[in-house]
Amino acid sequence: MRTPSKASNKVWKEKAVLRGKQLNRAKQELKRQKLKATKWRSAYYELKKAQSVRPVRNYSYPLELIWISILMHINFNVSLRGVSQSVVKLGELYGLSLPKLSHMSVRNWCLKFGLYCLNQPLAKGKYVLISDESIEIGRERLALLYVVPIEVYSPIEPLTMEDVKVLDLGVQPSWSSAQLAQKIKHKVKAYDLEIVYGISDNCS
């Protein structure tokens, strides 16, 4: 027969073990809840960041809508007026109260983006030159000089827009071979390019 002290010690130990297990389960649950809270907090801030728009200095429209406008007109061939009307509706989805967007503003954004792309330096390497003088603007002719990295050349696949880089362009009443050669030499020297061969449409 057990003494009262031994019996009470056994009960106390059993309660202590049970309490320890309960505390351990509570700690594990608390840890899971903290991890879940951290996950949801991160998701909330990511969503909030995705829904926010970045203002552009001296512009009424945020960067995201300006970029969407350029993308719609250049890549998807949406008319300038179609873009201007669509962007205002897109602004409403962001909860933005935006002024009426002129189609000329969209045109200016596209032109500025084109100038930005034109001023980007080309990577050093070997290229194929394409000279095009087929476009007339009023009484003047547009000379376009493209280059294609030799590594993307394929004899059986057509070129895509991503393959072609603009080397230079210019507009004047006419172009001589010497003038075009000078433009090519200037850009080739500036970017340290190697022209493997050239293609033209019987222009100067």
Task: Please write the tens of the pLDDT for every residue from 128-171.
Answer: 999 998 888 889 999 999 999 998 877 788 888 888 999 999 99
Bigger pLDDT: 65 or 111? 111
> Which secondary structure element, helix H or strand E, spans residue 128, and what is its range?
strand 125-137
Q: What is the mean pLDDT of residues 196-202?
A: 85
Average pLDDT over all residues of the chain: 85
Specify whether the CB–CB gap between 92 and 49 falls below 8 A. no
* Length of the chain, in residues: 204
Query: For residue 50, what pLDDT is reported?
Result: 53
Banded pLDDT at 204 (limits 50, 70, 90): low
Report percent pLDDT > 70 for the chain: 90
pLDDT of 94 over the 80 cut: no
Rg (CA), the chain: 33
**Residue 68's CB: how many other CB atoms inside 10 A?**
17
Report percent pLDDT > 90 for the chain: 44
Which backbone phi and psi does 76 adopt, to 5 degrees? -110, 5
Bigger pLDDT: 24 or 79? 79
User: Measured between alpha carbons, how far is 46 from 59 in angstroms, rounded to an integer?
Assistant: 26
Task: Please write the tens of the pLDDT for every residue from 51-80.
Answer: 567 888 888 888 888 999 999 999 899 999
Query: For residue 49, what pLDDT is reported?
Result: 59
Query: For residue 118, what pLDDT is reported?
Result: 87
Specify whether the CB–CB gap between 58 and 75 falls below 8 A. no
Look up residue 22 and give its two tokens. 């309960």
Q: Please tell me the number of Cα atoms within 13 Å of 16 on its side-chain side.
A: 6
Look up residue 47 and give its two tokens. 């969503």
Query: For residue 32, what pLDDT is reported?
Result: 85
Angle 19-21-23 from CA coordinates, rounded to 5°: 70
- In the DSSP assignment, the letter for residue 152 is G
User: Measured between alpha carbons, how far is 118 from 112 in angstroms, rounded to an integer?
Assistant: 10
